[in-house]
């Protein structure tokens, strides 16, 4: 029998974890000498109070949707993909290469090209750790951490060397040609005199991310492959009984995961920066972990959690501007979310199960 | 290339290897007991901050050291609670601790010192000063051995010598004491320990505690000896290099020393492109040297250079089997 | 003055939920004897010993050690009371030496070397005295299971155990190693140690023990002097003379050979030879029942046939050999060859406990075109199929959306059975079809198996329940120690003979 109803598992536990994380964060803010309520107000105003704010919030959200989906897909096959950061970097490399060296006639084609290449590059970066896990038993967490560092070094090397335009001092590529520039929200939603989302980086990739949510949902719950991935994630022994190949599942799920992380690059590299810079990913790969955990590895949950973190990011930027609270406060919140939803899961779950059990017993007695 | 340059590079090697060594030994204790710890980075960072902050305010590097150890123990405690008592996912816990440290150090630093997330520069007794070993000055002129003694062996801060002493100490604890035997056993087969009537939980908490202390020293070293104060993200991935060194060393203390020296050497080497040019004959990218530890670790893990078998019960919470 | 028993248990009872593993057990084990405890699977032997070693607390009853009432709340108390246990699955640290394993937990002080030195001396003395030869500096993972077991015994002796409990000790030993073990036990007995030997093997009981207690279904059915009994009597006590389970079935209409197994050998990943040169066949329209206590190779046999374990030999299905080691040696290929499989462990293999019932109905057959709809799986079709199956197999509650873990054991099994049977396989493999299944469902499941056989299918039935084997099978084979002990027709044999074969003895040998 289920210890507690499905809704409690899916909604209540992340909610309680969030409240715990928020409470501790509020205490920290208090300790710094700022008012948590004030801070919250500022964040809401800065992130959601204007189209400019929304433009930033949704831009960050887009990043986190991709990386959150990436970690989620891997979680479904019981693989912990910490390598999203590196996979997103390498995805960015792919995007830069095709934007700089392929003469695209129109942005829509450049977008499709970008999606494909970013996904392929990201998938390739995840493939080696996946292979080593499947065939040699090398722990995927350690290898993907290592690959994050290797990716950073690779990007560094290329951006200081081969990809840097002559005469430039900055470790970055040149600007992408006009034809590859993706329409921003400002371009898409400003009519006549009013310029909405002015200056904000949110762009058409947001909608690609939404489509990705649906695609992942369909893949995991509606296709044969998704069925096999989930089965393997639940029980390797049962999967073998049913003729599902562990190697195949590990490889495919990790490559899809890597591909999704790589696709983030169409947002930050192609959509926003319009060139490849050092540290373009800025920790989004790691936030994907928090997002996937909060969203319970379900695309809808990932979307909501990504929205939450987008809000935290933009709100955090505002806080840093107007108060003594530095941007790093967001990293603290992110850490607490990961801690409570991921590692201290039992701490939240066990008392909750007892509460529900007590309710059930009381109901039964009354009946 | 003359002896002096060689000694300078080797000298750097030792100084750069020290934090790696301390973090590596920290990870050794934890992982040998079956608790995976990828949060070495976070603990070092937290310790670096608190040690620098307290060293500044108190004027004493040793008091700072104590504070650094405290900070690291705090995070160790969280990791232990999550991994042992609540049987949570040890890897996720480690990730969370790294972020917690990365965020909190800057937040608190900014709040206390208002300098954009760093502590003020440390000077005087708030820093660990190099120690001149006896007769170093006198022996300096002796050909070959003199400079070696003066440049390479003497003149390090106290923590370097302490770190080096920890290697035989760790070996002795693990392989010559009852505690060490039980600790190693609990990481391989906790059921064997349990059926012998020994507390698995107690042993694992002890390991996590020792890990916290060593990471604390590592972090304090970074901020109060190697450098002069805390800056944001100053651990710079050393916790992960230490993890790589641990795997490279196949979880053994003396090998940990060698692999940390190797990785420290790569770091020192990367800082001297002129030397690289002279030795190898062509320009080797400093980045390649920086990334070599990580590539080597993947190769080890792939089993291409012998088998790197982690403690058998590593990463799994212990549930009594019936 | 009469000697107090080394161990006396009075009225020990223990339940796990609705299952009563030990019912009011009383037993006396005299010092300086080898006392055997024999019984089938699920008789309650392991539970009883776990209580004695402090793993479980009995619900009722008392324990007396050498006449003194003793509480045993944990293993430390058991060790202090002089009880040492040699587990079926060794509790050794694989990369430690023999010496380190012996000393672990019994060190003299904080410093290791003195403890190791003393242990080395003691081990030498013990080895000389009892023939317990080990190499103290050998690493556990390098030595064979025979020596590993001796290490376990030494561990107990080093801790001054006077009472030694061995749980199915010869399961992983070669005959030579087993002989050596029994010599050691004799030596220990000579020195006044008390030995409790838990086994399902009759030969061991007859050859090595002084007294034997028989357990059946949680109860102690008898305790007799070994010299005053016989294998037949023990077998009868072990399996019981029950009213035979009656299953309505007409005589078999047997046709072609569907499954032909020749010289099958399976070695597990620890290098233990589990299936030893087994050959048999199954024809269309018949049920071949393989009887035997679990752990004698039946599981590995099923796993190889099911496609998720490797083996060597020849297996021919419907005239064509099946792949035993290559790319096509997986569960999917087996299913495509018309082999369906109801596995022994439905929770770890047959079902995904967190999947809905309808998802489980497609498990293993999720490639079936009728379950697909273009790019996606046709969940509606699977659900409809599930509803039908649930109705036909009387699964309760008939809700396809419930998770598998929410169904009772019997209903879980019905889901698996429905899935496999309705595939219309040529060969159906079934392991422990009614384990953990309530009475009402048992009858239904048996009827389904017979119905399938009447449709002309070949059925390979593996079960530890002798009644079930006798009631359902058209032919019976017995597996013991990885080999086929022989084949019988149900009308030509009975529980006694089968019980003896399951315990390793042929009729002729027992006389």
Selection from C331, C330, C340 nearest residue C427 by Cα: C340
> pLDDT tens digits, residue range B243-273?
989 988 999 999 999 999 999 998 888 888 7
Task: Establish how many alpha carbons lie within 13 A of residue C300's alpha carbon, considering only the half-sphere containing its beta carbon.
Answer: 24
Instruction: Please tell me the distance from the alpha carbon of residue C127 to that of residue B8, in angstroms, as a whole number.
Output: 59
Instruction: Please tell me the distance from the alpha carbon of residue C364 to that of residue C370, in angstroms, as a whole number.
Output: 14
- In a 3-state reduction of DSSP, which class is residue A320? helix
Task: Establish how many alpha carbons lie within 13 A of residue A266's alpha carbon, considering only the half-sphere containing its beta carbon.
Answer: 34
What integer best gives the mean pLDDT of chain A? 90
Assigned domain for C360 exists = no
CB contact under 8 A, C376 and A243: no
Measured between beta carbons, the chain B residues lying within 8 angstroms of C113 are 176
On the question of pLDDT at B309 being above 90, the answer is no
Task: Establish how many alpha carbons lie within 13 A of residue C230's alpha carbon, considering only the half-sphere containing its beta carbon.
Answer: 8
Does residue A150 belong to the interface with chain B, where contact is any CB pair within 8 Å? yes
The angle formed by the CA atoms of residues A71, A75 and A80, to the nearest 5 degrees, is 75
**Low-confidence winner among A251-265, C121-135, C337-351 (lowest mean pLDDT):** C121-135
**Boundary-marking domain end, from C171, C205, C239:** C239
Domain of C119, CATH number, reads 3.40.50.300
Q: Average pLDDT of A335-364?
A: 83
**Boundary-marking domain end, from C239, C272, C302:** C239
- Regarding whether C67 and C36 lie in a shared domain, the answer is yes
**Minimal-distance CA residue of chain C relative to B189:** C93
Determine the pLDDT at residue C241.
59
**Does ipTM exceed 0.85?**
yes
Assigned domain for B261 exists = yes
Domain of B61, CATH number, reads 1.10.3470
Assigned domain for C365 exists = no
> Which of B88, B298, B301 lies at the smallest CB-CB distance from A346?
B88
Selection from C458, C453, C393 nearest residue C419 by Cα: C393
Measured between beta carbons, the chain B residues lying within 8 angstroms of C107 are 178, 181
> pLDDT tens digits, residue range B135-147?
777 777 777 777 7
Measured between beta carbons, the chain C residues lying within 8 angstroms of A241 are 306, 308, 331, 341, 343, 349-350, 364
Size of interface A-C (CB pairs under 8 A): 70
Does residue A308 belong to the interface with chain B, where contact is any CB pair within 8 Å? no
Q: How far is A255 from chain C (nearest CA, A)?
A: 20
Percent of chain C's residues with pLDDT above 70: 97
Q: How far is CA B42 from the centre of its chain?
A: 11
Size of interface B-C (CB pairs under 8 A): 66
Backbone φ/ψ region at B236: left (φ over 0), alpha (ψ -120 to 50), beta: left
> pLDDT tens digits, residue range A124-171?
999 999 999 999 888 899 899 999 999 999 999 899 888 888 888 888
> How far is the CA of C495 from the CAs of C230, C347, C464, in angstroms?
15, 30, 12
Determine the pLDDT at residue A349.
80
- Regarding whether C130 and C29 lie in a shared domain, the answer is yes
Peptide bond into C397 cis (omega under 30): yes
Full residue range of the structural domain in which residue C30 is found: 7-239
Instruction: Fill in the DSSP letter of residue A341.
Output: I
End-to-end CA distance of chain C: 38
Determine the pLDDT at residue C90.
87
Q: How far is C461 from chain A (nearest CA, A)?
A: 18
How many structural domains are present in chain C? 2
pLDDT interval class at C317 (50, 70, 90): very high
> pLDDT tens digits, residue range A218-237?
999 999 999 999 999 999 99
- Regarding whether C315 and C178 lie in a shared domain, the answer is no
Determine the pLDDT at residue B149.
80
Mutation target to probe the C interface, by most C beta carbons within 10 A, among A229, A233, A241, A246 is A241
Assigned domain for C357 exists = no
CB contact under 8 A, A339 and B93: yes
Q: How far is B303 from chain C (nearest CA, A)?
A: 18
How many structural domains are present in chain B? 1
The angle formed by the CA atoms of residues C173, C179 and C182, to the nearest 5 degrees, is 100
> pLDDT tens digits, residue range C124-153?
998 888 888 889 999 998 888 888 999 999
- Regarding whether C189 and C136 lie in a shared domain, the answer is yes
* Domains along the sequence of chain A with CATH: 1-34+328-367 (no CATH), 56-306 (1.10.3470)
CB contact under 8 A, A243 and C352: no
- Regarding whether C191 and C164 lie in a shared domain, the answer is yes
> Which of A218, A231, A235 lies at the smallest CB-CB distance from C376?
A218
Does residue A286 belong to the interface with chain B, where contact is any CB pair within 8 Å? yes
CB contact under 8 A, C105 and B198: yes
Assigned domain for B260 exists = yes
Measured between beta carbons, the chain C residues lying within 8 angstroms of B177 are 110-112
On the question of pLDDT at B116 being above 60, the answer is yes
Measured between beta carbons, the chain A residues lying within 8 angstroms of C306 are 241
Assigned domain for C144 exists = yes
Q: Would you mind telling me the total number of residues written for chain B in this entry?
A: 322
pLDDT interval class at C508 (50, 70, 90): low
Residues 344-363 on A with a CB inside 8 Å of C are none
Assigned domain for B26 exists = yes
Does residue A243 belong to the interface with chain C, where contact is any CB pair within 8 Å? yes
Q: How far is CA C249 from the centre of its chain?
A: 29
Instruction: Fill in the DSSP letter of residue C288.
Output: E
Instruction: Please tell me the distance from the alpha carbon of residue C150 to that of residue C184, in angstroms, as a whole number.
Output: 9
Highest mean pLDDT among B270-284, C200-214, C417-431: C417-431
> pLDDT tens digits, residue range B79-100?
999 999 988 889 999 999 999 9
Q: How far is B85 from chain A (nearest CA, A)?
A: 9
What integer best gives the mean pLDDT of chain B? 89
Highest mean pLDDT among A34-38, A211-215, C22-26, C85-89: A211-215
Percent of chain C's residues with pLDDT above 90: 57
CB contact under 8 A, C104 and B189: no
Measured between beta carbons, the chain B residues lying within 8 angstroms of A81 are none
> How far is the CA of C188 from the CAs of C149, C156, C183, C184, in angstroms?
15, 12, 9, 6
CB neighbours of residue C477 within 10 Å: 22
Assigned domain for C272 exists = yes
Assigned domain for B132 exists = no
**Low-confidence winner among A36-40, B46-50, B185-189, C475-479 (lowest mean pLDDT):** A36-40
On the question of pLDDT at B306 being above 70, the answer is no
pLDDT interval class at C245 (50, 70, 90): low
Q: Which long-range contacts (CB under 8 A, 24 or more apart) does C219-223 make?
A: C219/C23, C219/C24, C219/C25, C219/C44, C220/C25, C220/C26, C220/C27, C223/C27, C223/C28
Selection from B10, B121, B27, B41 nearest residue B314 by Cα: B27
Q: Average pLDDT of C14-22?
A: 82
On the question of pLDDT at C248 being above 90, the answer is no
Assigned domain for C373 exists = no
Gyration radius from chain A CA atoms: 22
Assigned domain for C99 exists = yes
- The residues near C178 (Cβ < 8 Å, ≥ 6 apart) are C170, C204
Assigned domain for B318 exists = no
Instruction: Please tell me the distance from the alpha carbon of residue C317 to that of residue C334, in angstroms, as a whole number.
Output: 10
Percent of chain A's residues with pLDDT above 70: 98
Instruction: Please tell me the distance from the alpha carbon of residue C424 to that of residue C457, in angstroms, as a whole number.
Output: 8
* Helix ranges restricted to H, A137-245: 140-160, 185-189, 205-222, 224-234, 236-241
On the question of pLDDT at C350 being above 90, the answer is yes
- Regarding whether C292 and C145 lie in a shared domain, the answer is no
- Regarding whether C91 and C54 lie in a shared domain, the answer is yes
Q: Average pLDDT of C66-76?
A: 89
> E strand or H helix at C300, and its extent?
helix C298-306
End-to-end CA distance of chain B: 66
Assigned domain for B153 exists = yes
Selection from B28, B14, B1, B15 nearest residue B211 by Cα: B28
Determine the pLDDT at residue C511.
43
On the question of pLDDT at C244 being above 70, the answer is no
- Regarding whether C302 and C433 lie in a shared domain, the answer is yes
pLDDT interval class at A1 (50, 70, 90): very low
Instruction: Fill in the DSSP letter of residue A33.
Output: T
Instruction: Please tell me the distance from the alpha carbon of residue B84 to that of residue B202, in angstroms, as a whole number.
Output: 10
Q: What are phi and psi of A190, to 5 degrees?
A: -90, 125
> pLDDT tens digits, residue range A283-325?
899 999 999 998 999 999 999 999 999 999 999 888 888 888 8
Measured between beta carbons, the chain C residues lying within 8 angstroms of B180 are 112
Assigned domain for B103 exists = yes
In what order do the strands lie in the sheet containing C7-16?
A: C19-29, C7-16, C60-65, C68-69
Determine the pLDDT at residue C1.
54
- Regarding whether C165 and C38 lie in a shared domain, the answer is yes
Assigned domain for C496 exists = yes
Q: At what angle do helices B200-221 and B238-248 cross, to 10 degrees?
A: 130
Determine the pLDDT at residue B136.
77
CB contact under 8 A, C352 and A234: yes
CB contact under 8 A, A241 and C350: yes
Assigned domain for B194 exists = yes
- Regarding whether C276 and C227 lie in a shared domain, the answer is no
């Amino acid at each position: 029998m289920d210890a507690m109803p499905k809704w409690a598992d899916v909604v209540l536990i992340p909610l309680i974890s969030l409240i715990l994380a928020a409470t501790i964060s509020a205490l920290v803010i208090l300790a710094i000498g700022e008012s948590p309520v004030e801070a919250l107000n500022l964040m809401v105003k800065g992130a959601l109070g204007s189209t400019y704010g929304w433009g930033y919030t949704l831009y960050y959200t887009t990043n986190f949707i991709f990386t959150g989906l990436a970690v989620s897909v891997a979680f479904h096959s019981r693989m912990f993909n910490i390598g999203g950061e590196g996979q997103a970097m390498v995805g960015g490399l792919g995007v830069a290469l095709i934007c700089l060296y392929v003469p695209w006639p129109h942005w829509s084609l450049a977008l499709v090209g970008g999606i494909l290449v970013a996904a392929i590059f990201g998938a390739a970066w995840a493939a080696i750790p996946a292979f080593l896990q499947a065939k040699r038993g090398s722990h995927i967490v350690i290898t993907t951490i290592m690959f994050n560092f290797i990716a950073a070094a690779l990007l560094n090397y290329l951006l200081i060397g081969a990809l840097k335009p002559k005469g430039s001092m900055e470790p970055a590529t040149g600007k992408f040609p006009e034809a590859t520039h993706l329409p921003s929200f400002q371009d898409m939603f400003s009519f006549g005199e009013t310029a909405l989302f002015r200056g904000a980086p949110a762009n058409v990739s947001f909608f690609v991310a939404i489509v990705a949510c649906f695609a992942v949902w369909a893949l995991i719950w509606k296709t044969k492959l998704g069925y096999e991935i989930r089965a393997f994630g639940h029980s390797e022994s049962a999967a073998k009984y049913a003729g599902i190949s562990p190697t195949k599942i590990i490889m495919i799920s990790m490559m899809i995961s890597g591909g999704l992380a790589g696709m983030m690059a169409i947002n930050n590299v192609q959509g926003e920066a319009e060139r490849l810079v050092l540290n373009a990913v800025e920790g989004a790969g790691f936030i994907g972990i928090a997002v996937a955990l909060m969203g319970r590895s379900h695309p809808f949950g990932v979307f909501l959690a990504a929205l939450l973190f987008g809000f935290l990011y933009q709100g955090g930027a505002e806080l840093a501007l107007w108060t003594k609270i530095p941007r790093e406060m967001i990293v603290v919140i992110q850490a607490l979310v990961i801690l409570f939803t991921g590692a201290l899961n039992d701490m939240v779950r066990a008392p909750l199960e007892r509460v529900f059990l007590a309710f059930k017993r009381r109901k039964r007695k009354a009946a | 290339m003359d002896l002096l340059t060689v000694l300078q590079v080797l000298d750097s090697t030792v100084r750069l290897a020290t934090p790696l060594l301390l973090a590596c030994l920290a990870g050794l204790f934890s992982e040998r007991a079956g608790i995976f710890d990828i949060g070495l980075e976070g603990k070092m960072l937290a310790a670096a901050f608190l040690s620098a902050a307290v060293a500044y305010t108190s004027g004493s590097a040793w008091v700072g050291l104590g504070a650094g150890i405290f900070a690291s123990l705090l995070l160790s405690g969280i990791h232990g609670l999550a991994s042992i008592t609540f049987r949570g996912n040890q890897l996720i816990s480690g990730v969370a601790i790294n972020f917690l440290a990365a965020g909190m150090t800057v937040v608190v630093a900014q709040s206390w010192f208002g300098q954009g997330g760093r502590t003020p520069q440390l000077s005087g007794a708030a820093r660990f000063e190099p120690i001149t070993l006896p007769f170093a000055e006198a022996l300096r002129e002796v050909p070959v051995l003199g400079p070696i003694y003066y440049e390479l062996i003497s003149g390090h801060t106290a923590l370097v010598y302490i770190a080096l002493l920890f290697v035989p100490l760790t070996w002795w604890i693990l392989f010559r004491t009852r505690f060490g035997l039980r600790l190693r056993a609990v990481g391989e087969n906790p059921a064997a320990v349990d059926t012998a009537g020994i507390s698995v939980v107690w042993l694992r908490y002890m390991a996590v505690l020792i890990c916290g202390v060593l990471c604390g020293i590592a972090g304090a070293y970074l901020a109060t000896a190697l450098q002069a104060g805390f800056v944001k993200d100053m651990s710079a991935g050393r916790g992960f290099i230490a993890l790589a060194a641990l795997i490279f060393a196949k979880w053994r203390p003396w090998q940990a020393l060698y692999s940390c020296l190797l990785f420290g050497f790569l770091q020192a080497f990367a800082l001297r492109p002129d030397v690289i040019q002279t030795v190898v004959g062509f320009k080797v990218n400093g980045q390649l040297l920086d990334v070599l530890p990580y590539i080597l670790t993947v190769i080890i893990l792939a089993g291409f250079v012998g088998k790197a078998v982690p403690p058998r019960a590593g990463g799994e919470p212990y549930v009594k089997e019936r | 003055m009469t000697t107090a028993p080394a161990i006396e248990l009075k009225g020990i009872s223990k339940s796990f939920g609705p299952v009563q593993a030990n019912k009011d057990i009383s037993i006396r084990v005299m010092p300086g004897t080898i006392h055997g405890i024999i019984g089938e699977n699920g008789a309650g032997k392991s539970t009883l010993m776990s209580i004695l070693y402090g793993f479980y607390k009995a619900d009722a009853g008392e324990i007396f050690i050498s006449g003194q009432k003793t509480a045993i709340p944990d293993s430390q108390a058991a060790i202090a009371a002089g009880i040492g246990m040699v587990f079926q699955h060794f509790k050794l640290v694989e990369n430690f030496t023999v010496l380190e394993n012996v000393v672990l937990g019994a060190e003299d002080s904080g410093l290791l070397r003195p403890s190791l030195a003393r242990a080395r001396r003691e081990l030498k003395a013990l080895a000389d005295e009892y023939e317990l030869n080990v190499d103290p500096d050998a690493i556990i993972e390098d030595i064979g299971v025979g020596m590993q077991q001796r290490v376990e015994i030494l561990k107990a002796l080093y801790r001054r155990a006077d009472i030694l409990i061995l749980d199915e000790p010869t399961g992983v030993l070669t005959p030579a190693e087993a002989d050596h073990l029994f010599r050691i036990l004799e030596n220990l007995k000579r020195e006044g140690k008390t030995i409790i030997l838990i086994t399902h093997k009759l030969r061991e009981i007859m050859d090595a023990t002084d007294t034997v207690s028989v357990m059946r279904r949680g109860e102690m059915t008898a305790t007799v002097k070994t010299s005053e009994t016989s294998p037949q009597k023990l077998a009868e006590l072990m399996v019981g003379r029950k009213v035979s389970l009656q299953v309505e079935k007409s005589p078999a209409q047997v046709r072609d050979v569907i499954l032909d197994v020749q010289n099958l050998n399976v070695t597990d990943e620890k290098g233990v030879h589990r299936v030893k040169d087994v050959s048999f066949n199954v024809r269309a329209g018949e049920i071949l029942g393989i009887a035997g206590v679990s752990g004698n190779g039946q599981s590995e046999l099923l796993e190889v046939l099911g496609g998720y374990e490797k083996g060597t030999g020849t297996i021919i299905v419907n005239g064509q050999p099946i792949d035993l080691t290559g790319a096509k040696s997986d569960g999917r290929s087996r299913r495509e060859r018309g082999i369906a499989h109801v596995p022994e462990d439905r929770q770890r293999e047959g079902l995904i406990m967190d999947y809905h019932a309808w998802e489980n109905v497609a498990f293993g057959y999720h490639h079936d075109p009728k379950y697909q709809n273009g790019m996606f799986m046709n969940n509606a079709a699977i659900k409809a199929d599930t509803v039908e199956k649930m109705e036909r197999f009387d699964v309760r509650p008939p809700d396809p959306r419930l998770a598998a873990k929410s169904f009772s054991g019997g209903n879980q099994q019905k889901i698996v059975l429905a899935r496999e049977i309705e595939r219309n396989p040529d060969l159906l493999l079934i392991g422990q079809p009614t384990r953990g299944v309530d009475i009402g469902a048992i009858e239904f499941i048996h009827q389904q198996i017979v119905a399938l056989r009447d449709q002309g299918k070949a059925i390979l039935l593996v079960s530890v329940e002798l009644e079930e084997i006798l009631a359902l099978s058209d032919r019976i084979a017995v597996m013991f120690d990885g080999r086929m002990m022989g084949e019988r027709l149900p009308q030509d044999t009975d529980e006694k003979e089968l019980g003896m074969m399951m315990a390793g003895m042929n009729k002729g040998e027992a006389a």
